[in-house]
Amino acid sequence: MNEEQIQHYGDALYDAWRERRTIAPLLEQEPDITLADAYRIQLRYIERRVAAGETIVGKKIGVTSKPVQDFLGVFQPDFGQLTSGMVYQEGDVIDLGTLIQPKAEAELAFVLKEDLQGPGVTAMDVIRATDYVVPCFEIVDSRITDWKIRIQDTVADNASCGVYVLGKTKGDPRKLDITLAGMVLEKNGELHSTGVGAAVQGSPANAVAWLANTLGELGIPFKAGEVILSGSQSALVPVVDGDELVCTVGGLGSCRVKFSGRSAV
């Protein structure tokens, strides 16, 4: 795709995000979009948000489980950028009015104490470079109508990122089995579903290593202090006004989040 097309679709996604509405799947409009094109569209969308005053605070990794990869017909994860406007603190109530068609995912987040420069990064480097891990919720959202996404659509749409909340309990990955740590998700006081770290690329550290290597090839920096959401360990949970979710990572701790208001769809 030429630069004009890239800008067009990046701007269309930015406008849809700002106006809380959806657009038709990009692949319906432009059947030949490649994955590389999709990342360029994502970059344009994020540049628009940065130009409007946000800063880049981290990355999210998506499409990390085998069922989702099978569904989208891909063999690797994808990634999006986390911006300052996406951050909620634990205890905040998430205003669904700022979102379009949100769903929650329970994850493990990494915070780096050293830069990770790929290619050549292994899971062992990830543990070494990690300051701490925390349980977190990512609230994914799609600017694409009815979540009718293929891999190019979700990549262009910043990996369907909405907002996120980090828990307050920090863990050291040298003292915690992040691969076998259980994930228990409760919705409104009832057990919703369970999972385990291994659901993410065999281990969340593998997903972060993948990201470091992918960013390295694209020349995108991956810096100390950045937050990395490593990928969903739970089922996707649609949320409405009044819902409360708690995720607990075995051996680590919990993250609790409440929702109010109405999303656009």
Partner 1 sequence: MSMEITLSREDIVRLCERVEGAQTRAYAIPKLTDEYPGMTIGDGYAVQLELRRRFLARGHKQVGWKAGLTSKAKMKQMGVDVPSIGFLTDRMARPENAAISTADLVHPRVECEVAFVMKDELKGPGCTAGAVLAATDYVLPAVEIIDSRFSGFKFDLPSVVADNGSSARFVGGGRARYAQDLDLRTLGVVLEKNGEIVAMGASAAVLGHPAEAIAMLVNILAELGESLPAGSFVMSGGITEAIAVKPGDSVIARFQELGSVSMRFVE
* Site of interaction with partner 1 (CB under 8 A): 66, 177, 179-184, 191, 194-199, 202, 248-251
Q: In terms of CB distance, is 175 or 219 closer to partner 1?
A: 175
Q: Which residue, 60, 68, 26, is CA-closest to 153?
A: 26
Q: Which residues pair with 78 in a beta bridge?
A: 62
Tell me which DSSP letter residue 23 carries.
B
CB of 77 to partner 1, least distance (A): 16
Q: In terms of CB distance, is 152 or 248 closer to partner 1?
A: 248
Residues 109-121 as b or e (16 or more Cβ within 10 Å = b): bbbbeeebbbeeb
CB of 202 to partner 1, least distance (A): 7
Q: In terms of CB distance, is 66 or 148 closer to partner 1?
A: 66
Q: In terms of CB distance, is 47 or 177 closer to partner 1?
A: 177
Amino acid at 231: G
Residue labelled with tokens 């379009």: 100
CB of 100 to partner 1, least distance (A): 30
Query: What does the alpha-carbon distance between residue 159 and residue 151 come to, in Å, rounded to a whole number?
Result: 9
CB of 132 to partner 1, least distance (A): 19
- Mapping DSSP to helix (H, G, I), strand (E, B) and coil, where does residue 44 land? helix
